[in-house]
Every structure is written in structure tokens, then in C-alpha cells.
Amino acid sequence: MLAVAQIDYIRHEVNQKGGTYSSVARKMEIDPRTVSKYANQEEFKKREKQTRVSPVMGPVKPIIDKWLKEDLKKKKKYHRTAKKMYQQLKKFHSFQGAYRTVRDYVSKRKYELREDYREAALPLESFPGTAQVDFGTAPFEYYSEVIELPYLVMSFPYSNSFYFQVFPSENTECLLEGLQRMFQHMGGVPRVIRFDNLSPAVKKVMAKGNRELTQTFERFTLHYGFKYEFCNPGKGNEKGHVEAMVKYVRNNFLLPECMITELDQFNETLWELAEEDRNRPHYEKRIFQSELYLQDKEEWLLLPEKSFECVRYQELKADKYGFVSLDDKQYSTSPRFAQQRVKLCISYNSVMVLSEKNELIVSHSRLYGTRRKSMVWQPYLDLLSKRPKAIKYSNIYNQFPEVWASYLRNCTEEEQKEALRLLGKLLKNQDFSLLNEALALAAQNGHPSTDQIKHCFYSLYNNTDTHDAISTNLVVPILPSVTRGLNHYDTFFKEEVHSNG
């Protein structure tokens, strides 16, 4: 085929200047029939590239494509080489072609497949293996009280399906815990996930679409290998599928208020609800969503061997009582760490206090809602039982329940030691309720001893009624006075001699 400039010259010389086919052909050193063809051609369609049938490579191309798609779900170090593919084709598929032919095809197809995935990241709704993520909120009944809790939704636009989990907050730890739970339940990781500019993931939106990510979220994406995308500020419609799914989940699964007693158990029931919802035709494709979901699944990345530790670490200074403040909540450490820095290991449901050597000092359940303080007493009781005088100068009485604070103020030093040792032994899960009841019961007849408190505690614990047998106001009969020495024996013998006489 002639170049465009040559065709333009032919048409100008023949049609505009009146040159003959043969004269133009002699000037260009081509066949006159070629000159005639291009001078009189009416339209110039793009010539389609001819696809030649390859009898050697044709049967094995689908096999190589399958291997390449599998490898793209793995880390590069686990990819098959072209040489390895060639060896497997020869050994298991009776391939008769040359290694160079396989190598060239593998190189070309790798590039094409990567380009396909790059293009798939733009129109996110149109391709399998992609997802969108967002939080919603709904009311829940928790111990007869209606509270509002967030729930995390991951939607799959291609199959119009989803998963969701309920959490106590929208913080970084809850976001990552939710994503990891979904990945593990799904058995794979979406190639591309689109987010709104969630504060648990994005610290700052900068110019030209750049974002400064939170350190924990950045490590999470590296661990699981998915490509993340964020909507432009104020453009929530760019993740319209998940926004619609947030409303769908609330209306169909969370209203009216669901009753929750234990959040993790409640979340376990939500997997099945989401999977049953796929047993209906897609609103446009007229194929069951469960079938489309399988196509989504085929495009997911493989899970890494190890789970991600969904925690963050933070150093804080304890106050004079040994408390640290996190998210406007207070957590106890130990009196020996008062006014010192400690390290916190923070997950979505726990706060662990660590020493400089990363030794566990104490572990708390993470506080949400209106509760402001978490107190773990054991570190305080152990120290105070050895140094009871320190209790008067530490204001630690303010941290005890009032009934125990009053009791300890009226104890002698030795009684304080015994009382604190008893508390250290009987206090479980930081729950003073039974101990408070035992102390109040034992104190009905005056200032009780630790043995009396202990007896009342176990009576209440075992639902017995033997505490009535113990009383400080026992009625004791009056005994005769006792004289010491042997004089009473002399009196006895004198009386005996007198009677014999």
C-alpha cells in the first residue's frame, strides 16, 4: 500500500493537471494500474489487519492466557516465566512450536492484559473484580436503649452485590478490621477499591488530586496489594453504587431497629443475609447476581499468607494518677507509671498499655459512647497492699466505689493491707457490684473484718444464706472471775480436813 503523500500526488497529477496514467507511473516508478486505482478510488476505508490462523500457537493461546491471568493475581516473584510455560506446554500439552514463539506471545499478552486492567480502573462500574466502600448509620436496640451505630458496606458494581458489618465507630481501626473481615470471608481482594475521602484513610486532600494517607491505611493497602481510588471532594456520585447500596442495606436489613447483645455474634449473621440477597436477577443484565458475583470473584487478587495487624501505636504521657487520655476517654495504667510516657496498642475493640520494653502493663476494652473512664484495679491493688500508707496521699480513694472508699478510711494500716489483698483476689473483670453488696451486708453490724466480708461475698456468690450466722453483736454469757495461783487448792483441803474432824 502506498503512503498517503504518494496517493495524494497521484490524484493531483492525474485529476488536477491531466497527466496520463503511464506518465505518472514512469515518474513514480510504479505500475500504471496502481496509478489508475488510486486516481479513481472513491473512498478510503481503514484497512483491517488480517489475523492469520496459527496452527501451532492457536490451541495453546487460551492455556497461556489462563496462566497469565492467574499470575496477575499473585506477587511478581510467584509468576511463571515464559520458559516455564514453554516447558509445561511441551510436557503436558504436546506443544511442537519453538520457545521464541511462546516468549513473544507471552510478552505481548502480558502488556495487553495490564492495559486492560488499567482501563478497567477508570469506568469502575463496568468491570468485574472492582469494589466501592462507604459507611452508613442505622439505629440499633442495645440493652433496651436505642443507639445509632455505623455499618461498613463494600459493594461490587459489576454484580450489584455487597457485604456489610456493623461497628461501634468510623475510626481507622474499625475501617481496616471491616475490610479485612470481608477479604477473609470472600477469599480474595478486589483489584480496585474506590473510597470517599474517609478521615480514617485520608489525612489531607492536596492539590492536583493528591492525598496524604494515614500511615496505617497506607500499610494496609501495601499488604493486600489492591489499587485504591478516591472521589473528588464533593463528588460522592463518583461512588454512586455504594451510596445506593448503603440505603438498600439499611432499608432491607437494619430497619426497624435490630436488637444487639453481642456485636461480633450479630455480625456473623450478616454474611448469609448478603449472600442470600444475590439470588435475584440483575436489574439490567437479567442474569442472577450470584452468577455475576462469581465473575467478580475470578478477577480478585489472592489473599496474602498472613493477616494484617489492624492496630496503631501511640505514645502518651500518664497523669499523676497513672491515667492516659485517648479520644477523650481515660484509661488506667499503673501508679508506678504516673507522669511517665507509655505506649498504647490500639485496635477497634481494645487498648493495651505497654512499657518501654513493649511489656503488657494492662489491657482495656476500648470505650465508645458515653462511658468516659476504664479502670483496671489489679496494678493499683498489688502496689497499695504493700504500701497502704501511700493510699492516703494518692487520692486513689476517689477512684474506688464510695462504699469501699469509706470502709478503707476507717481501717487500721493492717486492716487496709488485708482489705486490699482481698480486693486483689476477689475482683474479677473490674466489676465491684458483688463486692459492694458483700461489704454493705457485712457492715450491717458495725465495722467488719476482711473474713466477714469474704464470708458474705462467697455466700452471695454461691446464693447461700450463711452470712446471718456471723455477727459482731454476739450475746456472750457472763463468766465468773478467775483467780490465778494455787490458793483455791489450799481452801479445798482445809474444808476436807474440817469435815473429817
Residue 469 pLDDT class (50, 70, 90 cuts): very low
Residue 42 pLDDT class (50, 70, 90 cuts): low
Position 123 pLDDT exceeds 50: no
The answer to whether 262 and 365 are in contact (CB under 8 A) is no
Distance from C-alpha of 431 to C-alpha of 272, rounded to nearest angstrom? 36
- Do the bridges between strand 360-365 and strand 350-354 make them parallel or antiparallel, or are there none, so unpaired? antiparallel
pTM given for the model: 0.65
pLDDT at 166: 98
Distance from C-alpha of 132 to C-alpha of 240, rounded to nearest angstrom? 9
The residue ranking higher by pLDDT, 158 or 494, is 158
- Give the domain ranges of the chain: 4-40, 61-120, 124-298, 312-374, 380-469
Instruction: Round the average pLDDT of the chain to a whole number and report it.
Output: 84
Q: Which of 85-89, 198-202, 336-340, 491-495 has the lowest mean pLDDT?
A: 491-495
- Do the bridges between strand 202-205 and strand 211-213 make them parallel or antiparallel, or are there none, so unpaired? antiparallel
Position 484 pLDDT exceeds 50: no
- Domain at 312-374, CATH class: mainly beta
The answer to whether 135 and 151 are in contact (CB under 8 A) is yes
The answer to whether 184 and 305 are in contact (CB under 8 A) is no
The answer to whether 159 and 296 are in contact (CB under 8 A) is yes
Position 238 pLDDT exceeds 80: no
The residue ranking higher by pLDDT, 40 or 326, is 326
Three cell numbers written together for 315: 505514645
Three cell numbers written together for 24: 505518472
pLDDT (mean) for 108-128: 67
Position 290 pLDDT exceeds 70: yes
How far apart, in Å, do the first and last CA atoms of the chain sit?
166
The CATH classification of domain 124-298, taken from the options 2.60.40.10, 3.40.1390.30, 3.30.420.10, 3.40.50.10300: 3.30.420.10
**Topology match between the domains 124-298 and 312-374:** no
Dihedral-angle region of residue 303 (phi above 0 means left; psi in -120 to 50 means alpha; beta otherwise): beta
Dihedral-angle region of residue 471 (phi above 0 means left; psi in -120 to 50 means alpha; beta otherwise): beta
Distance from C-alpha of 232 to C-alpha of 238, rounded to nearest angstrom? 8
- Of all residues in the chain, what percent carry a pLDDT higher than 90? 43
